[in-house]
């Protein structure tokens, strides 16, 4: 068979009408709001009606630290969902929505790959059901209302130099990173310096993904700290009276989006917060809805397990009261080789020694995740150049860590290629071996929480933070924010803060550059290193090649 690209496979998908996918989950058609024939939102009313139903089992798909070789976390999430359905379990997939802007820079992100994809792929990489546009509007309404308040007399006493709420756009536009607004004279307001972030970095995105319902959403939006007075008292979104209107703008975006896999299994694709300055998981409301409707819910977290799984457990699960039953850690032979020191160009040649040398990265993720009390299984996402000996080396290593590694061929075969993993997941889940607990208690002092993550997850010796940062944390503790969890923002490429330090480093330290309060989302962001919240376009952006072809299909996006 000739090689087919992800987009070619996606276009050939035999999609079922979305109402049929909804029916399988028991969603009445009046509560499934279609967007075209292959996407739909689930009504708030129906979701509210599920309140007292029992919940299915939650499976987290996480991964080793990403390498340029790719690990296939979303592909495995989708494949495992298909595999579970194939072995007779009613499984629902929950993944994040894609951001539109970056697709016009580098080639766009697919929703899975090969035979393990969610469709319609083009639309999920463009406007989809408009959720991100709604978030952009809500975020920027608040921004406009802040400057409008200052313009009309500033009765709240906002210090224009201390407006922390920026604007957002779902576009890679470096020119907007650092701007001066309100030029042009009296009628345009008071000039001040500010900027735009990309929409996925908005606190509104994180809030939408962590809210239980519309009332909780409005409550959280109201808590956002947007500015400070001259004597450093916080001004909130509620002070600006923007929380009600923002909730109205977000009411449809709060409804989870239902689509399907290539094998016509249900997938919720909802929410997409940054995995560095936010928690990087799909929405609580989608995950909870899926748990009410399915026996198994397969979801993923951003980046590697050091960032993604830790935040999934310590932020999303802690706050939403979710109890994961099993965690799948995705690894590839190629990524093990890169961790073992092999360059990308040389990945095609067999190198068992390098695989063995790279495995400690995987080993540390296994022990870290086990530390949360969740049973672990490793998925080896098969690549055609993998050799038997290399695969065996990974299996042997994982066995030595007290876990099992299972070869998965879902990329090439779909759900059929991942039945072994599905059976293992069911076995672990039904054994009831999970005793999930977050890493640290709510009432631990903030700095100590940071140290706990750095030591127990990153295996660092120390956290380095200057007095201003420690003082800031104490100010927030005094102001009642001390019980919030920590949201670490560091490189995803290493356990350390040095992106080039692969494997399982020790003896390193974690320097904290900045801390930020996300009072609405409900976490303290701890920034270690440079975090870019507004990407730029490359020299030749993919937008230059993107176009509709003669058949009306999108070319150049994938």
Binding-site sequence positions for ATP: 67-74
Quick check: 193 binds its own copies (CB under 8 A)?
yes
Instruction: Please state, in angstroms and rounded to a whole number, the distance separating the CA atoms of residues 289 and 26.
Output: 12
Residues 139-158 that bind its own copies (CB under 8 A): 140-141, 143-145, 147-148, 151-153
DSSP notation for 352-403? HHHHHHHHHHHHHHHHHHHTTT--EEEEEE--TT--HHHHHHHHHHHHHTTS
Q: Is 543 in the site for its own copies (CB under 8 A)?
A: yes
Least separation in angstroms between residue 324's CB and its own copies is 32
Residue 451, classed as helix, strand or coil, is helix
Q: Examine residue 172 and tell whether it contacts its own copies (CB under 8 A).
A: yes
Nearer to its own copies, 34 or 341 (CB): 34
**Contacts (CB under 8 A) with its own copies, residues 108-127:** 126-127
Candidate ranges 49-57, 70-78, 262-270, 540-548; the one touching its own copies (CB under 8 A):
540-548
Cα angle for residues 268, 39, 115 (degrees, 5° grid):
65
User: Any contact of residue 164 with its own copies (CB under 8 A)?
Assistant: no
Helix (H, G, I), strand (E, B) or coil at 135: helix
Residues 12 to 31: which contact its own copies by CB under 8 A? 30
| Residues 34-53 close enough to bind its own copies by CB under 8 A | 34-37, 41, 44-45
For residues 289 and 401, which CB has a smaller minimum distance to its own copies in the complex?
A: 289
CB of 51 vs its own copies, minimal distance in Å: 16
The span from the CA of 370 to the CA of 357, in Å, is: 22
Among 104, 228, 436, 493, binds its own copies (CB under 8 A): 104
8 versus 461: smaller Cβ distance to its own copies = 8
Peptide bond into 120 cis (omega under 30): yes
The residues annotated with a catalytic role in the active site are: 73, 75, 96, 107, 275, 303, 383, 411
CB of 259 to its own copies, least distance (A): 15
CB of 534 to its own copies, least distance (A): 9
Closest to its own copies by CB, 148 or 385: 148
Burial label, 45 (beta-carbon count in 10 A; 0-12, 13-18, 19+):
exposed
Judged by CB, which is closer to its own copies: 45, or 52? 45
Q: Considering the rule CB under 8 A, would residue 77 count as an interface residue with its own copies?
A: no
Q: Which of 235, 247, 162 is nearest to 208 (CA)?
A: 247
How far apart CA 243 and CA 189 sit, in angstroms, is 23
- CA dist 489 → 45, 58, 217, 266, 317 (Å): 36, 25, 24, 32, 19
Q: At closest approach, how far in Å is the CB of 229 from its own copies?
A: 19
Residues marked as binding? 67-74
With beta carbons less than 8 A apart as the criterion, state whether 333 and 390 touch.
Answer: yes
Residue 228-267 contact track with its own copies, rule CB under 8 A, x = bound: -------------xx-xx-xxx-xx---------------
* Interatomic CA distance for residues 489 and 123, integer angstroms: 30
Q: Shortest Cβ distance from residue 100 to its own copies (Å)?
A: 6
**Contact between 380 and its own copies per CB under 8 A:** no
Judged by CB under 8 A, the residue of 5, 20, 49, 188 near its own copies is: 188
Burial class (CB in 10 A: 0-12, 13-18, 19+), 231: exposed
DSSP 471: H
Q: Which is nearer to its own copies, 250 or 374 (CB)?
A: 250
Q: Is the dihedral of CA 200, 202, 208, 211 positive or negative?
A: positive
């Amino acid at each position: 068979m000739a090689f087919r690209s992800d987009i070619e496979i996606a276009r050939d998908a035999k999609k079922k009408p979305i109402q049929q996918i909804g029916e399988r989950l028991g969603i009445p058609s009046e509560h499934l709001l279609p967007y075209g024939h292959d996407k739909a939102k689930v009504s708030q009313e129906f979701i509210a009606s599920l309140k007292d139903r029992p919940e299915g089992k939650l499976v987290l798909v996480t991964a080793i630290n990403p390498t340029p070789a790719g690990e296939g976390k979303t592909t495995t999430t989708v494949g495992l969902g298909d595999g579970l359905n194939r072995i007779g379990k009613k499984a629902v997939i929950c993944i994040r929505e894609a951001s539109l802007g970056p697709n016009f820079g580098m080639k766009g992100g697919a929703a899975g790959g090969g035979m393990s994809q969610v469709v319609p792929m083009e639309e999920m990489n463009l406007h989809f059901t408009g959720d991100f546009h709604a978030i952009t509007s809500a975020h920027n309404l608040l921004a406009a209302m802040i400057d409008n308040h200052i313009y009309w007399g500033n009765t709240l006493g906002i210090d224009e130099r201390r407006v922390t709420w920026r604007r957002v756009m779902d576009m890679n536009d470096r020119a907007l990173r650092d701007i001066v607004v309100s030029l042009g004279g009296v009628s345009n307001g008071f000039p001040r310096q500010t900027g735009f972030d990309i929409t996925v970095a908005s606190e509104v995105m994180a809030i939408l993904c962590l809210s239980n319902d519309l009332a909780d959403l409005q409550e959280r939006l109201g808590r956002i700290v947007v500015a400070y007075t001259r004597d450093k008292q916080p001004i909130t979104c509620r002070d600006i009276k923007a929380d009600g209107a923002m909730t109205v703008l977000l009411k449809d975006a709060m409804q989870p989006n239902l689509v399907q896999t290539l094998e016509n299994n249900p997938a919720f694709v909802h929410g997409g917060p940054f995995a560095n300055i936010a928690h990087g998981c799909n929405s609580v409301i989608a995950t909870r809805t899926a748990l009410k409707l399915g026996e198994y819910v397969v979801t993923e977290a951003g980046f590697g397990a050091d960032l993604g799984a830790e935040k999934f457990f310590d932020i999303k699960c802690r706050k939403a009261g979710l109890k994961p039953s099993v965690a799948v850690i995705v690894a590839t032979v190629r990524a093990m080789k890169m961790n073992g020191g092999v360059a990308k160009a040389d990945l095609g040649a067999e190198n068992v020694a390098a695989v063995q040398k790279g495995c400690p990265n995987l080993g540390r993720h296994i022990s870290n995740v086990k530390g949360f009390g969740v049973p672990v299984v490793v998925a080896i996402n098969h690549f055609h150049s993998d050799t038997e000996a290399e695969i065996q080396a990974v299996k042997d290593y994982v066995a030595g860590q007290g876990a099992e590694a299972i070869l998965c061929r879902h990329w090439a075969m779909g759900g059929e290629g991942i039945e072994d993993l599905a059976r293992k997941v069911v076995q672990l889940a039904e054994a009831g071996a999970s005793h999930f607990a977050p890493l640290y208690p709510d009432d631990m002092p903030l700095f100590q929480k940071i140290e706990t993550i750095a030591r127990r997850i990153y295996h660092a010796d120390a956290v380095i933070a200057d007095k201003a940062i420690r003082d800031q944390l104490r100010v927030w503790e005094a102001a009642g924010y001390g019980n919030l969890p920590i949201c670490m923002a560091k490189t995803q490429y290493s356990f350390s803060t040095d992106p080039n330090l692969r494997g399982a480093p020790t003896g390193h330290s974690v320097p904290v550059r900045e801390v930020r309060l996300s009072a609405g989302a409900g976490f303290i962001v701890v920034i270690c290193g440079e975090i870019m919240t507004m990407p730029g376009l490359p020299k030749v952006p993919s937008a230059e090649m993107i176009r509709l072809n003669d058949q009306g299909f999108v070319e150049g996006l994938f």
